[in-house]
Amino acid sequence: MVRGIVIDAKEYLIKTSKELDGPIRQYIGDEEPANLIAASRQYPYAGGKRMRPAMVLAAAGAVGGDVSKAVPLAVAVEYIHNFTLIHDDFMDGDEKRRGMTTIHIAYDVPTAILAGDALFAKAFQLIAELDVPDRNMKEVLRYVSQAVWDLARGQQMDINNEGKIVSEEAYIETIRLKTSVLFAAAAAGGALVGGAGEKIVTALHEYAMALGLGFQIFDDYLGIAGDPSKTGKSVGNDIRKGKCTVMVTHAMRNIKDPKVLEEFKGILGNMKATEEQTARARSIMESAGSITYGRQLAQKKVDEAISKLDVLAPSEYKEFMIALARYAIDREV
């Protein structure tokens, strides 16, 4: 690329997602039984942001590798993401995803569990067939299998902590496991397929880990400070659900007046809280500096992510990785 061209992360994602349409359809053949195959296909075929596979491809390109060889891994990572979405949607009782009825409702619960399991298995079939030296494939397998182990732990922590306000440390650990580890495996895996050595693989792994945290922390920030007409979320919702975020844990530590703290705790997690009450809770958090703290922490994680990319030579892919990190905290939805 010509240096200095600014990449629009969102447009780049849309373009990459379109390019992945074919490959994502390529690896699930018309086998029996038809209902399992159709259920397995629904989420991956439906699109979504496809940030994880884009990360695989960008990492492979950014280290100077042959991006086309990274396509099967990109698809594998997206299948894994979709496997967790299918299982999580059932556990969380969600009824809609990407504009469609979720698998456990559109089909039934056993089919949803098996469709998830099948996508999981297919991902590892794709990894086994990667056109890279066996040693690199083995490293990819390490990163990805560790990520899936961690994803299960993260989802279980999330379930265990539902409705509880845990420490900031415990919250960060949960989102690290639920969000960052698969991003990080995608980046490290792409770099490995691209032929990178350990130092660069580790740097890209750290980049994506920090980016995942920044992304999720900013998501939480949008949930409380975003424009409801754009995010599609009522600002009071996270407060009513008592959702633990770094902003809430900050508020718990930093509200100095015991009476205000009691008032705040009384609103948090109260499903019947009025708009006035949730607005009051938000204003308490604002006064405590908690909302600014959330935004700044997301910014800090993104800065940290971008700093890890110093090991890379200039390229369009590197620019995308920087743009993606910036986009994580510069969006309205």
Footprint on this chain of a copy of itself (rule: CB under 8 A): 31-33, 35-36, 87, 90-91, 109-111, 113-118, 120-122, 124-125, 127-129, 133-135, 137-138, 141-142, 144-146, 148-149, 151-153, 155-157, 159-160, 173
Q: Which of 60, 40, 49 minimizes the C-alpha distance to 20? A: 49
243 or 308: CB nearest a copy of itself: 243
Q: Which of 29, 98, 84 minimizes the C-alpha distance to 52? A: 84
Q: Assign 45 to helix, strand or coil.
A: helix
What count of other Cβ atoms lies within 10 Å of the Cβ of residue 166?
A: 16
Question: Which amino acid makes up residue 217?
Answer: I
Least separation in angstroms between CB 231 and a copy of itself: 27
Question: Which amino acid makes up residue 236?
Answer: G
Report yes or no: 290 and 254 within 8 Å, Cβ to Cβ. Answer: yes
Report yes or no: 218 and 231 within 8 Å, Cβ to Cβ. Answer: no
Least separation in angstroms between CB 213 and a copy of itself: 18
Least separation in angstroms between CB 136 and a copy of itself: 9
45 or 90: CB nearest a copy of itself: 90
Please state whether 106 falls in left (phi above 0), alpha (psi between -120 and 50) or beta: alpha
Least separation in angstroms between CB 32 and a copy of itself: 7
6 or 34: CB nearest a copy of itself: 34
Least separation in angstroms between CB 45 and a copy of itself: 18
Residues 6+ apart with CB under 8 A from 92: none
3 or 135: CB nearest a copy of itself: 135
37 or 311: CB nearest a copy of itself: 37
168 or 319: CB nearest a copy of itself: 168
Please state whether 11 falls in left (phi above 0), alpha (psi between -120 and 50) or beta: alpha
Residues 6+ apart with CB under 8 A from 8: 323
Least separation in angstroms between CB 138 and a copy of itself: 5
Report d(CA 304, CA 132) in Å as an integer. Answer: 30
Q: Which of 95, 124, 152, 121 minimizes the C-alpha distance to 36? A: 121
Report d(CA 135, CA 244) in Å as an integer. Answer: 41
Least separation in angstroms between CB 198 and a copy of itself: 16
Q: Assign 268 to helix, strand or coil.
A: coil
Least separation in angstroms between CB 316 and a copy of itself: 32
111 or 216: CB nearest a copy of itself: 111
Report d(CA 161, CA 174) in Å as an integer. Answer: 9
110 or 163: CB nearest a copy of itself: 110
